[in-house]
Amino acid sequence: MDKEKNIQLRRVFGYYWSTSFLIINIIGAGIFVAPKGVLKYCSMNVGLSLCVWAGCAVLSMTTTLCSAEIGINFPCSGSNYYFMKRCFGSLIAFLYLWTSLIQGPGIIAGQALLLAEYGIQPFYPSCSAPELSKKCLALAMLWIVGILTSRGVKEVTWLQIASTVLKMSILGLISLSGVVLLVKGRKENVEWFQNAFDGEFPDASQLTEAVFQGYFAYSGAGSFTLIAGELKTPRKTIPRIVFTAVPMVTIVYLLVNISYLTVLTPKEIVSSDAVAITWTDRVFPSLAWVIPFAISASLFSNLLINVFESARVIYIAGQQGHLPLLFHTLNSYSSPFLSVLLLVSMGSLAIVLTNLIDLINYFYFMVTFCSVLSAVGILKQRFQEPDLPSSYKVFLPFPSIAMAIGLSLVLIPLAKSLSVQYVVLLFVFSGLLFYIPLIHFKLRLVWFEKMTCYLQLLFNICIPDVSDEH
């Protein structure tokens, strides 16, 4: 290890990279498939579906501003986890970490398989691609991402910017084409907008489902808390990226949905499994093979960023004593190599064992419940520590709105399937089998401490240098 070089996570990400990071996290595969669900649960009422997309943007902004308070006041990597440990104690924070150790690799595996699906499907135009081919490609992409992430932030930065340009180009093409067709004013293009609210109105339960579908497409807006320790001047950067990225994504989402409705009928959108590809077949048939590849390339950035940010939670958990100190180490590129290796290895296992990916549905709402705890923590801190120095405080009703949204996303799936409750509770509380002996009673494994030295030499990693920053 180069002794003259400081090994630590540095604040190297400014406004432009951070905005790009947030846009990539919000815009995943959702906008290419979610319009189907929103329109379906809105009873194919065009005007109401567009209102749902706009309303979901407002809800997303309220929860994102709550995350902004955490990221600004606790500007460290994995600040959400750190904040939870500070507010609710070691046990709750450990159970959050325990859930993340399965949820994170499961999501990464699902993204890798989705990437492989879009990447390989054009070679099988008349049938489904073989499962073995998709899994092999998904594994290859996941390990490439792991290698890139372990080589520091330089490669990640350039790939992310390139992918952001590609992703916005795809959505820009769809949006502008729809606007042009709408301006031309052909009857078949504008008939759905002339009487947008004349369709059937859904009942309350259906409208709630539509909101859930749209809200999931905005998920990831608070992900900057995971890399707050690497943002330059987070007090200024975080509010700027929030008020840039979320409105920009909202405008793009609305234009893309208008474009879909300009070209396709509501019934065609609801019956399509991949609305973007169906739209391309209708407007640009010659580009039918290009769009899946472009979507696959844009999904590569989501996979890259997810590995990048999830490794930061494992990294700080090693510092806080919830994981072995070995995970709080960096390689010569100032990357948490062992944290990345753990994520990629567990993600690979999830790809091979497809049933594990199915468990994402069971654990997704637990992550939502953690967002509820974050909102409760903000209120708790506000009333118990009113004099605590704070660079930014979110408008007080916003945490209450975030709690209401989160509780709805938690309780409704539980009401639909009681088996979810038992599976999740069993898994979450199984973390106590590790917490009680290893964290509470501080049991030390001698063989692991000996192995730590060998792993440090093997992977050329070390404990990070102490930062001069307060």
Residue 413: partners with Cβ closer than 8 Å, 6 or more residues away:
365, 420
Three-state SS at 120: helix
Residue 355 has pLDDT above 50, yes or no: no
Residue 466: partners with Cβ closer than 8 Å, 6 or more residues away:
8
pLDDT for position 348 = 92
Q: Quick one: fold of 15-462? A: Amino acid/polyamine transporter I (1.20.1740)
pLDDT single digits (tens) 180-227: 888 776 566 666 666 767 777 877 777 877 887 788 788 778 888 888
Q: CB-based burial of residue 380 (10 Å sphere; 0-12 exposed, 13-18 middle, 19+ buried)?
A: middle
Give the residue carrying structure tokens 């600004």: 72
Q: Are residues 114 and 313 in contact, defined by beta-carbon separation less than 8 angstroms?
A: no
Residue 362 has pLDDT above 60, yes or no: no
Q: What percent of the chain has pLDDT over 70?
A: 86
pLDDT single digits (tens) 138-172: 999 999 999 989 887 877 777 778 877 888 888 88
Helices (H), 320-359: 337-352, 354-358
Three-state SS at 462: strand
Q: Using DSSP, how many helices (H) and how many strands (E) does the chain show?
A: 20, 0
Mean predicted confidence (pLDDT) in 245-268: 89
Residue 1 has pLDDT above 50, yes or no: no
pLDDT for position 468 = 46
Question: Would you list the domain boundaries of the chain?
Answer: 15-462
Mean predicted confidence (pLDDT) in 55-63: 89
Helices (H), 151-265: 153-184, 187-194, 204-217, 234-263
pLDDT for position 12 = 85
Mean predicted confidence (pLDDT) in 81-89: 90
In terms of Cα–Cα distance, which of 327, 306, 324, 367 is closest to 115?
A: 306
Return the minimum-mean-pLDDT range out of 28-37, 107-116, 247-256, 400-409.
28-37
